[in-house]
């Protein structure tokens, strides 16, 4: 769960509309794209239980973290080229890298919640999950 926090999910969720505006979209389209990446995230997160059963938690989590790193590097590169070098096609790369990020982040995001429920007995599980939720919700405040 801590490793996932270092993937920048909070920044991408909070500033995705600004990233789309920076990519040259108008405000209405940027908001629709933000809604779109939220839907993409939801659909990919729904596929996660099936992928966990097929590939295992560890390999799926490592895949997710590695692909998030690649997506954020692409996003950084496209944003740099767009702002510094004035290359026009890079705005499409920014949009695609944001969608790619949401796909790969969504695939592995439920894994820590599954692990937390398996670490503790049924009697202690409710308290551990509530504690984790409170800690990470305060950690994500901006």
DSSP state, 89? T
pLDDT at 70: 94
pLDDT at 79: 85
Any idea where the domains of the chain sit in the sequence? Answer: 2-109
pLDDT at 24: 82
pTM value is 0.75
pLDDT at 114: 67
CATH of 2-109, one of 3.40.47.10, 1.20.1250.20, 3.40.50.2300, 1.10.287.3510: 1.20.1250.20
Three-state SS at 27:
helix
Q: Are 30 and 44 in contact (CB under 8 A)?
A: no
Residue 93, C-beta contacts closer than 8 angstroms, at least 6 positions apart: 74, 77, 78, 81
pLDDT at 135: 72
**Residue 8: what are its φ and ψ, rounded to 5°?**
90, 20
Three-state SS at 35:
helix
> Exposed/middle/buried for 134, CB within 10 Å: 0-12, 13-18, 19+?
exposed
**Residue 26: what are its φ and ψ, rounded to 5°?**
-75, 170
pLDDT at 73: 93
pLDDT at 58: 81
Q: Average pLDDT of each block of 10 consecutive residues along the chain (142 residues)?
A: 65 84 87 90 87 84 88 90 82 88 84 66 72 68 52
């Amino acid at each position: 769960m801590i490793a996932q926090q270092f993937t920048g999910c909070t920044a991408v969720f909070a500033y995705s509309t600004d990233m789309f505006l920076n990519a040259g979209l108008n405000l209405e389209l940027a908001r629709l794209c933000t809604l779109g990446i939220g839907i993409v995230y939801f659909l990919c997160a729904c596929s996660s239980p099936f992928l966990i059963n097929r590939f295992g938690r560890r390999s799926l989590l490592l895949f997710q973290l590695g692909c998030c790193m690649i997506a954020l590097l692409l996003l950084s590169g496209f944003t740099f080229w767009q702002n510094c070098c004035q290359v026009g096609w890079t705005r499409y790369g920014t949009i695609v890298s944001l969608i790619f990020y949401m796909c790969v982040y969504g695939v592995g995001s439920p894994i820590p919640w599954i692990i937390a429920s398996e670490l503790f007995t049924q009697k202690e599980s409710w308290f551990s999950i509530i504690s984790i939720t409170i800690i990470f919700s305060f950690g994500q405040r901006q």
